[in-house]
Structure 1
Amino acid sequence: MKKEDCFYLGKIVKKYSYKGELLAKLDTDEPDLYENIDAVFMDLRGNLVPFFVESSQLHKSDLLRLKFEDVDSEADADALIKSELYLPLDLLPKLEGDKFYYHEVIGFTIKDKNFGEVGVIKAINDSTAQALFEIDRNGTEILIPMNDEFIVKVDKPNKTIEVETPDGLIELYTNPS
């Protein structure tokens, strides 16, 4: 299993008990979807290693308490703290309507209602307060905030996203003065 075939589920943050149980902070709005997983892939020194889950349950709101097979002591658990957890992409719940996962829209064409075709999404920058579409327009990078008010329509079959951006936003990039 390669990382590009998986999605990031979360990270082991601390031990829970002396019997090898661990707490993972999940990167999801719906942690209960992952309460009964059978296995996860853990990134150990750059390799994805499968770990089988003996038991799991939600702990507080966004933590998942995990007991892995063959992790039976505090020392075993210590070795896994800060490890990242991954699951295969096909386990992602399907999103309806105009909702999408970031990885799904890479390669989609952005069309603006007023400007016309803007370019192709090459990445999503979510390191800022507002996630941004990073769009390539013939070698020029254009950044458009992923704001629900700007997104008019997501057409998954045709790999296009229609947006309506404020006047002048795209021109900031295409007509440098």
Structure 2
Amino acid sequence: MGDAGFVEIGYIQRTHGINGELAVSLNSSVEFNPEELESVFLEIEGIPVPFFITRIRFQNPEKAIVKFDDVDSIDQAQELYGVKMLIPSTAIELEDEVYLSDLVGYKVLNTDKSEVGVIVDYTEYSMNATFELVTPDGKHVLIPAADELIVEVDTSAKLLEMELPEGLIDLNL
């Protein structure tokens, strides 16, 4: 999740051409209908600012070329490099599926039921996602936020059971 009420759907990767078009990397873990998008919010200096879409062309499900209203030059487009794209969380069709970003605040247990810590942050890098945990003794550690490591999610108790490789936590301390 991005700011309260918003979900990050991608980020502006680079400019495309000289007429203000932008290459956008889309987050495949968030389900939305990109063809129905008339506008998005760009997170500028921590504030979601609305931008209307003039046109969008998909190169594949995770890449698109976007042209925004009032962004008509390469200079204007360059100012948006690296900016997060957000949509209101109400625009997402929610199912019973839990996204990794929704797990902030969950207590993490190892498969032997020992407490590893509490998730305080979720970060997505280009090809890797991580959870930042605070261990029971107050130390901060990073662990991979990978579906393959998750054994069970208990949403009512806010518990996440993970099969973490032996020594991973010690390596991060």
TM-score of the superposed pair, with normalisation by structure 1: 0.69
Q: 8 Å contact 2:109–2:116 — kept in the other structure?
A: yes
State how 1:4-19 maps to structure 2 within 5 Å: 4-5=3-4, 6-8=6-8, 9-11=10-12, 13-16=14-17, 18=19
- 1:27 equivalent in structure 2: 26
- 1:105 equivalent in structure 2: 103
Identical aligned residues as a percent:
26
Q: Distance in 2 between matches of 1:70 and 1:88?
A: 21
- 2:50 equivalent in structure 1: 50
1:136-175 Cα shifts (integer Å, max 9, x gaps): 12312344333444311112232110123344545x37xx
- 2:118 equivalent in structure 1: 120
151-160 or 80-89, which deviates more: 80-89
1:35-64 Cα shifts (integer Å, max 9, x gaps): 331111124455432122233231466432
What are structure 2's unaligned runs of at least 5 residues?
none
127-136 or 51-60, which deviates more: 127-136
Q: Distance in 1 between matches of 2:129 and 2:16?
A: 32
Q: Which has the larger radius of gyration?
A: 1
What are structure 1's unaligned runs of at least 5 residues?
none
Q: 8 Å contact 1:134–1:144 — kept in the other structure?
A: yes
1:43-86 Cα shifts (integer Å, max 9, x gaps): 44554321222332314664323333344x43xx5313351232
**CA spacing shift, 1:48–1:100, aligned 2, 3 Å:** closer
Note the aligned Cα RMSD (angstroms). 3.4
Q: 8 Å contact 1:15–1:78 — kept in the other structure?
A: no
Count of matched residue pairs: 164
State how 1:68-107 maps to structure 2 within 5 Å: 68-71=68-71, 73-74=72-73, 78-83=75-80, 84=83, 85-94=85-94, 96-97=96-97, 99-102=98-101, 104-107=102-105
Q: Which amino acid aligns with 1:144?
A: I
Q: Distance in 2 between matches of 1:46 and 1:123?
A: 17
